[in-house]
Amino acid sequence: MTNPVLSVRDLSVSFRSDTRTVHAVDHLSYDVAPGEVLAVVGESGCGKSVTAMAVMGLLPPTARIEGSIRLGGTEIAGASEKELGRVRGKDIAMIFQEPMSSLNPVLTIGRQIGEVLRRHQGLSKKEARARAVELLDLVGIPAPAQRVDEYPHQLSGGMRQRVMIAIAVACDPSVLIADEPTTALDVTVQAGILEVLQSLRERLGTAIVLITHDLGVVADAADRVLVMYAGRPVEQAPVHELFAEPRHPYTRGLLGAVLRPGGEGKRRLPEIPGLVPSLDAQPDACNFAPRCAHADDQCTTRRPGFKAVSLDAGADAAHRAACWHPQETPVLTPTTQEAGQ
C-alpha cells in the first residue's frame, strides 16, 4: 500500500488497576489507504473500541499505550493533549454508536456543527451556520435550512446519527472512525447511514475505519477487513477474499456459523463455542488455541506471527493471518454462494 493515511504499528494498550492489568490490545498493526473503508470485526470485548480510542487519543490516564500511530505520516502516539486537540476533529474524527450521548441536548444542531467550524476553521457565526446547512444536506437531512435550528430531541435516532456524521466531517478529516455507527438503529435506517458513509468516501475521499458486529455491513460497505480476537489481529484481507477464502480458524468460525442450520440470513457475529479468554495475561501462544479444533503443541507454546498467507505475496501482502496452520479449503458463505448461482 502506498502512503497510508493512517498507520498503526505494534499498538498495545493495557489498563492497570490496584488488583489487575487488562491487556486490551496486544501488538496490533494495520494501515488504511486514503478513501478506503477498513472494517474491524470481532466479538465483543476484543479491543475494537479501545484501539479506536487510542488512535483518537481519548483513552483515560489509566491506559498504558505502546507502539506507533501515524496520521498522514505524523506520529500521534504519545502526543500532548494540546497537539491531539489540533488533529482531533480536523484530520481525524470519530462517531459512536449512541449519538444522543455525544450531542449536547441544550444546543441547536446548527450551533454544535458550527462550533467545530469556528474552532478549527475560524469561520464567523454566519459562515458557520451556512456551512452547517450544507453539511446537513451532505448527510441527507431533509429541509436542512429548518433543521439547523432544531435541538437533538426533535430528531429521530437515524437523523441524530447523521448530525454526528456532519459534525465529524465538518472539517473534512482524512480519516473517520465509525464505532458501531448503525448498531442502535433499525435495518432501513442503518442502510441510510451506510449510504451516507459511502457517499462521503466518494465525494470527500475520507478513509473510514468501520467497527461493526454485523457481517452484512462488512459485505456491503468494506474494501478490506481486519478480524480481531482477544486484543490481537488474527486475519486481514480484501473483503471478497476474506469471505471466499478465510484462512484463520476464528474467521472461519465466524463466517461458517452463518450457514449452520437455522443460521441462514443471520447477520450478527455468531456464537463460537467457548469463551473469549481473560485479558489479564496475553500468552506467548495462540490465544485462540483453547477454542480451536486444529490446535497442536506448537500453537500452545509459540505465538504465531501476523504473516502473509500466500508464499508469493511478499512483505506488502494484503492477506495475512496469525495462525500456525492456516486453512486451505474454501468455505461456503452467502457471498460465495450468491457468486456461484
Ligand X SMILES: Nc1ncnc2c1ncn2[C@@H]1O[C@H](COP(=O)(O)OP(=O)(O)O)[C@@H](O)[C@H]1O
Residues contributing to the site for Mg ion (CB under 5 A): 49
Among 259, 295, 318, 331, binds ligand SF4 (CB under 6 A): 295
Which cell goes with 324? 500456525
* CB-based contacts of 282, cutoff 8 Å, min separation 6: 23, 26, 230, 231, 232
Q: State which H helix or E strand residue 8 sits in.
A: strand 6-16
Among 5, 8, 24, 207, binds ligand X (CB under 6 A): 24
Segment lying near ligand X (by CB under 6 A), choices 42-50, 110-118, 232-240, 299-307 = 42-50
- Assess contact for 93 and 169: CB atoms under 8 A: yes
- The answer to whether residue 323 forms part of the interface with ligand SF4 (CB under 6 A) is yes
Least separation in angstroms between CB 153 and ligand X: 27
Q: Is 32 exposed, middle or buried (0-12, 13-18, 19+ CB in 10 A)?
A: buried
Residue 177, contacted partner among ligand SF4, ligand X, Mg ion, none, CB below 5-8 A by kind: none
Residue 45, contacted partner among ligand SF4, Mg ion, ligand X, none, CB below 5-8 A by kind: ligand X
- The answer to whether residue 254 forms part of the interface with ligand X (CB under 6 A) is no
Interacting positions 219-248 with ligand SF4 (CB under 6 A): 248
Segment lying near ligand X (by CB under 6 A), choices 38-46, 68-76, 183-191, 309-317 = 38-46
Among 292, 306, 320, 333, binds ligand SF4 (CB under 6 A): 292
In whole angstroms, give the CA distance from residue 170 to residue 177.
14
Closer residue to ligand X, CB minimum distance, 92 or 166:
92
Which cell goes with 139? 448527510
- The answer to whether residue 15 forms part of the interface with ligand X (CB under 6 A) is yes
Interacting positions 27-66 with ligand SF4 (CB under 6 A): none
- Assess contact for 167 and 113: CB atoms under 8 A: yes
Residue 47, contacted partner among Mg ion, ligand SF4, ligand X, none, CB below 5-8 A by kind: ligand X
Interacting positions 271-330 with ligand X (CB under 6 A): 279
From residue 17, give the alpha-carbon distance in Å to each of 20, 46, 50, 63, 301. Answer: 5, 19, 16, 10, 28
- The answer to whether residue 303 forms part of the interface with ligand SF4 (CB under 6 A) is no
Give the three-state DSSP class for 178: strand
Sign of torsion over alpha carbons 84, 89, 93, 98: positive
Which cell goes with 274? 467457548
**Which residues are near ligand SF4 by CB under 6 A?**
248-249, 286, 288-289, 292, 294-295, 299, 304, 323-325
